[in-house]
C-alpha cells in the first residue's frame, strides 16, 4: 500500500516507530503525510515496525488513484499524497480500500454510495445553490440514510434532518417532502459555507452541532459525536465524488424520484 511506501521512505533509518498523519484539507479532501500539513486538520497515528499491518486511514472510499509527493518542510524531508508548494512527484499509486472499513474508530460502517436516491433533487438543489452535489449527498447519507420519514430523538426531520426552526427559516411547509428538505438543506449548507469562508469541516460541524456551539469553541467542538460525524461526512464525500465521476453521462441525467 501507498501508506507503507511513504512510511518506509520516511523512516528508512528508524526501526522503532512510524508515524503518519491523516490530514483533511479545507475542501474536505483527505491526504496522508509523514508530517502535519500546513492549512489542514491533521491527526497523528503511530505504528510499530510492521508496515504491512498498518490499518486503513483512507476510510471506505473504494479505489483511490493518486500521487505520492516529496517536499522539504522545516528542514526535513516530508512525504505526502497532497501536492503542496515545493513538492516533487515521487510515484503514482492505486489503492483499493476495504469495503465498509472505517477511517478511524467511531466512524462505523458508512456503506456504499446510493446514487439512485432522489438523484434529480440533489442535482437541482446543488446547482441552484452552488454547493457540491457529492457533499450534499454525503450530508444526507450521514444524517438520515436518505429516509424521508426520519425523525431524530432531538426532533430533526426528513432527508436532511432539519430542526423545525431551521425548516421554518427556509420556508419548508412539509419537512417530510424529500424535495423540500433537500432544497432547504442545500440552502442552509450554502449559508454555512459562506459563513466559514469555504471551510467544509466547520460547515459540517455547524450543521451537526449548531452555529452557536462552533462559535463558543472557536472551531470544531470537542464533542465525540460531532467529530465522528465530521469524519463520516468526509469519507462519504470522497466516496460520492468518486461514484459520481464514474457515472456514464446517460446515468447522470437520470429521472426524478
Q: Which residues are catalytic, by number? A: 143
Residues 6+ apart with CB under 8 A from 54: 1, 3, 4, 7, 18, 20, 47
Residues 6+ apart with CB under 8 A from 23: 30, 31, 32, 33, 36, 37, 40, 41, 42, 43, 80, 82
CA–CA gap between residue 120 and residue 100 (Å, rounded)? 26
* Phi, psi (deg, nearest 5) at residue 208: -85, -50
Number of Cβ atoms within 10 Å of the Cβ of 75: 5
Enter the DSSP assignment of 113: -
> Looking at the DSSP assignment, which residues form a beta bridge with residue 65?
94
Dig out the grid coordinates for 219 from the structure. Answer: 472551531
* CB-count exposure of residue 113 (10 Å: 0-12, 13-18, 19+): buried
CA–CA gap between residue 59 and residue 196 (Å, rounded)? 25
Q: Count CA within 13 A, CB hemisphere, residue 8.
A: 10
Task: Please check whether residue 144 is in contact with residue 159, taking contact to mean a CB–CB distance below 8 angstroms.
Answer: yes
The owner of cell 453521462 is: 249
Amino acid at each position: 500500500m501507498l501508506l507503507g511506501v511513504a512510511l518506509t521512505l520516511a523512516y528508512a533509518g528508524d526501526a522503532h516507530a512510524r508515524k503518519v498523519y491523516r490530514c483533511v484539507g479545507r475542501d474536505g479532501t483527505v491526504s496522508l503525510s509523514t508530517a502535519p500539513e500546513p492549512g489542514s486538520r491533521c491527526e497523528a497515528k503511530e505504528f510499530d515496525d510492521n508496515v504491512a499491518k498498518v490499518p486503513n486511514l483512507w476510510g471506505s472510499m473504494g479505489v483511490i488513484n493518486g500521487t505520492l509527493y516529496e517536499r522539504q518542510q522545516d528542514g526535513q524531508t516530508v512525504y505526502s499524497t497532497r501536492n503542496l508548494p515545493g513538492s516533487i512527484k515521487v510515484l503514482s499509486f492505486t489503492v483499493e480500500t476495504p469495503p465498509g472499513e472505517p477511517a478511524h474508530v467511531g466512524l462505523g460502517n458508512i456503506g456504499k454510495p446510493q446514487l439512485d436516491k432522489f438523484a434529480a433533487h440533489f442535482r437541482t438543489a446543488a446547482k441552484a445553490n452552488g454547493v457540491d452535489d457529492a457533499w450534499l449527498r454525503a450530508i444526507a447519507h450521514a444524517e438520515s440514510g436518505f429516509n424521508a420519514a426520519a425523525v431524530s430523538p432531538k426532533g430533526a426531520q426528513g432527508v436532511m434532518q432539519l430542526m423545525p426552526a431551521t425548516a421554518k427559516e427556509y420556508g419548508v411547509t412539509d419537512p417530510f417532502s424529500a424535495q423540500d428538505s433537500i432544497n432547504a438543506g442545500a440552502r442552509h449548507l450554502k449559508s454555512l459555507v459562506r459563513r466559514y469562508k469555504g471551510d467544509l469541516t466547520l460547515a459540517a460541524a455547524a450543521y451537526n452541532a449548531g452555529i452557536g456551539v462552533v462559535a463558543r469553541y472557536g472551531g470544531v467542538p470537542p464533542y465525540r459525536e460531532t467529530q465522528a460525524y465530521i469524519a463520516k461526512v468526509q469519507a462519504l464525500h470522497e466516496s460520492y465524488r468518486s461514484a459520481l465521476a464514474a457515472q456514464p453521462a446517460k446515468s447522470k441525467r437520470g429521472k426524478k424520484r
